[in-house]
Amino acid sequence: MKPIISPSILSADFGHLADDIEMLNRSEADWVHIDIMDGVFVPNISFGFPVLKYVAKLARKPLDVHLMIVQPEKFIPEVKALGAHVMNVHYEACPHLHRVVQQIREAGMQPAVTINPATPVCMLKDIINDVYMVLLMSVNPGFGGQKFIEHTVDKVRELRELITLSGSDALIEVDGGVNLDTGSRLLAAGADVLVAGSAVFAAPDQEEAIRSLKRL
């Protein structure tokens, strides 16, 4: 099965954001990955809902919305209003994770849970059957263009084993330092969805970069 490719607009040219979204619409990309940061949970601020309303209006691909923020449950109505396909929250930011996952599903979106590089896969054991997808961060979240953390490949294998043993249907998504080399190894380990930022938007031919990832 071909991988799902979700280019991250955090790496897009914000001066020509409409052009970059139109490129994604034309391309073989499956989803549009949107990173929302608050400067508290992660040491950076990205973009808020006024910008994202514009993105949602232009994008013709499903929105994969990743909230790197404290209390993400407060923004379920805003993410729903964007027409998001996936709402992705951090395990580390949700002390009542099961409730948040239920609220996302009740709002009509697919719930996903993210874990940071230092969070072990075993922490997902009690939630794995309730989520549509798990996102493994392969860099420490907050900035684009970081170096891939090699241990993530082992975490993908471990998560695939947990999903199989649990009888879960959860997808495995990986975000951070994804390119043709790391992407092929992640897919071989059991990943389903690749988030690519710099590998797409810094490429001379962005649509070809997406096509190459899709062919892995």
Q: 190: helix, coil or strand?
A: coil
Q: What percent of the chain has pLDDT over 70?
A: 100
Q: What percent of the chain has pLDDT over 90?
A: 94
Q: What is the Cα 176 distance to its own chain's centre?
A: 9
Residue 142: predicted pLDDT: 75
Residue 141: predicted pLDDT: 85
- Answer yes or no: is pLDDT of 63 > 80: yes
Torsion 195-197-198-204 (CA) sign: positive
> 136-141: long-range contacts at Cβ-Cβ below 8 A with a sequence spacing of 24 or more?
136/172, 136/173, 136/174, 136/175, 137/175, 137/176, 138/174, 138/175, 138/176, 138/177, 138/178, 138/182, 138/186, 139/175, 139/176, 139/177, 140/116, 141/35, 141/37, 141/42, 141/68, 141/114, 141/116, 141/176
Query: Could you tell me the fold of the domain covering 4-214?
Result: TIM Barrel (3.20.20)
Query: How confident is the model over 90-108, as pLDDT tens digits?
Result: 999 999 999 999 999 999 9
| Mean pLDDT score, 184-196 | 98
Confidence of residue 189 (pLDDT cuts 50, 70, 90): very high
For all residues of the chain together, what is the average pLDDT? 96
| Mean pLDDT score, 17-27 | 98
Residue 1: predicted pLDDT: 84
How much is the CA Rg of the chain, to the nearest whole Å?
Answer: 16
Whether pTM > 0.75 for this model: the answer is yes
Contact 128, 158 (CB under 8 A): no
Residue 188: predicted pLDDT: 98
Neighbours of 63 (CB within 10 A): 22
- Answer yes or no: is pLDDT of 3 > 80: yes
The residue ranges of every structural domain in the chain are: 4-214
Residue 11: predicted pLDDT: 95
| Mean pLDDT score, 156-176 | 98
Residue 8: predicted pLDDT: 97
Please tell me the distance from the alpha carbon of residue 49 to that of residue 90, in angstroms, as a whole number.
19
- Answer yes or no: is pLDDT of 146 > 90: no
> 156-163: long-range contacts at Cβ-Cβ below 8 A with a sequence spacing of 24 or more?
156/186, 156/189, 156/190, 156/191, 157/189, 157/190, 158/121, 159/121, 159/124, 159/134, 159/190, 160/189, 160/190, 162/121, 162/122, 162/124, 162/125, 162/128, 163/128
Q: Which residues are catalytic?
A: 35, 175
Q: 207: helix, coil or strand?
A: helix
- DSSP 8-state assignment for residue 84: -
Confidence of residue 143 (pLDDT cuts 50, 70, 90): confident
| Mean pLDDT score, 128-134 | 98
